[in-house]
Amino acid sequence: MTTGRGGADRIVVQSGTYTAKYRDGQGVVREVATGCRDETAARSVLSELERRAELVKAKVITAGEDATADHQQVPLDEHIAAYLTHLECEETTEDHQKNVKRCLSRIADGCKFSNLADLNREVFERCQAKRNKEGVGARTRNLDRASLVAFANWCVLTNRILSNPFTDVKMADEGSDPRRQRRAMSEVELARLLDVACRRPLLDAMTIRRGPNKGKTIAKLREETKNRLEQLGRERALLYKTLVLTGLRKGELASLTVGQLDLEGPVAFATLDPPDEKNREGNEIAIRDDLAADLRKWLSDQLAAL
């Protein structure tokens, strides 16, 4: 038993490893776990810490360089986990966090980066060139680059590294390497999409999957099942139509409630709350008259079914 600084009783437990106590280059007393069970090995760690402190005092290295040294050999996975925690505290979306984790893990595996000391621009550029030859699209490679640059910037801010080695890595030209030609749907194509979406649930349920009648839509369904599937088809078609005519993203549309719709005024609109919008500013989305009529009919039917 011993007495703490505030006078409280404390129990002293013998540690399985040695702790190094020393005064750093700025004169602050530090206690650092050596992770060593052998006293000789622990004293070697202490000697290295004291040597670095003397180099700081002699202005051979800066205090910042000394601070980053402790992070260099820590496994990169631990730094990435800390960065993802930072993104979570910044209230970024869960999908963004998953994408960043996937990109950084892919880079670490491809470039053989195991710790911060391994981070190297030339190695990363060689990996990017190799992936280009393998047919990986420019957009995907740029996503990896952006994730790595953002991660390295965070490492600089948290004194894990002194500078970002990837800042000047050039982006791939997405314009010269389009994997998908984007264009707006024509009115005819939109009509076909909505028609298929409306009929698909019922057609799928009526289609025979095996046997001599495979592929034929002759399965007999109960009337209540048919009504439920037709309702599901209407709902899907309405979702597609709303996405196309409002430009909302999937997550933004999913966040809307009935209370955020104004379908009775001269101009129908939906109010998107700031936390649910990508730029976190909030917005009022105009709704075309025919879509507003479809939404009113859908809500009316839902109320009647209660």
User: Tens digit of pLDDT for each residue in 50-93?
Assistant: 776 665 566 655 555 555 566 666 789 999 999 999 999 988 88
Please check whether residues 142 and 108 belong to one and the same domain.
Answer: yes
Rounded distance, CA 302 to CA 306, Å? Answer: 7
Please check whether residues 282 and 238 belong to one and the same domain.
Answer: no
Please check whether residues 107 and 150 belong to one and the same domain.
Answer: yes
pTM of the predicted model as reported, rounded to 2 decimal places: 0.54
Radius of gyration of the chain (CA): 30
Instruction: Say if residue 264 is exposed, middle or buried (CB neighbours under 10 Å; 0-12, 13-18, 19+).
Output: exposed
In the predicted model, what is the mean pLDDT of residues 98-123?
Answer: 93
Domain of 103, CATH number, reads 1.10.150
176 in any annotated domain: no
> Of the candidates 246, 270, 298, which is a domain's last residue?
246
> Of the candidates 197, 229, 246, which is a domain's last residue?
246
Please check whether residues 53 and 122 belong to one and the same domain.
Answer: no
How many structural domains compose the chain?
Answer: 4
Q: Which residue has the tokens 């030339």?
A: 122
223 in any annotated domain: yes
95 in any annotated domain: yes
Please check whether residues 83 and 153 belong to one and the same domain.
Answer: yes
96 in any annotated domain: yes
Please check whether residues 227 and 294 belong to one and the same domain.
Answer: no
Rounded distance, CA 55 to CA 53, Å? Answer: 5
- Of 137-151, 159-173, 226-240, the one with minimum mean pLDDT is 159-173
- Write the DSSP symbol of residue 257: -
**Containing structural domain, residue 270:** 252-306
177 in any annotated domain: no
Please check whether residues 207 and 235 belong to one and the same domain.
Answer: yes
User: Looking at per-residue confidence, does 29 or 267 come out higher?
Assistant: 267
68 in any annotated domain: no
Q: Is residue 116 over pLDDT 70? A: yes
Q: Is residue 236 over pLDDT 90? A: yes
8 in any annotated domain: no
> Of the candidates 207, 228, 246, which is a domain's last residue?
246
Rounded distance, CA 272 to CA 288, Å? Answer: 16
105 in any annotated domain: yes
Please check whether residues 103 and 151 belong to one and the same domain.
Answer: yes
8 A C-beta contact, residue 273 and residue 260: yes
Please check whether residues 265 and 237 belong to one and the same domain.
Answer: no
Task: Select the highest-mean-pLDDT range: 1-15, 37-51, 133-147.
Answer: 133-147
Please check whether residues 227 and 263 belong to one and the same domain.
Answer: no
Rounded distance, CA 10 to CA 260, Å? Answer: 57
Please check whether residues 153 and 117 belong to one and the same domain.
Answer: yes
8 A C-beta contact, residue 44 and residue 20: no
Residue 112, classed as helix, strand or coil, is coil
Percentage above 70 pLDDT, the chain? 87
Q: Is residue 243 over pLDDT 70? A: yes
Please check whether residues 302 and 268 belong to one and the same domain.
Answer: yes
Q: What is the mean pLDDT of the chain?
A: 85
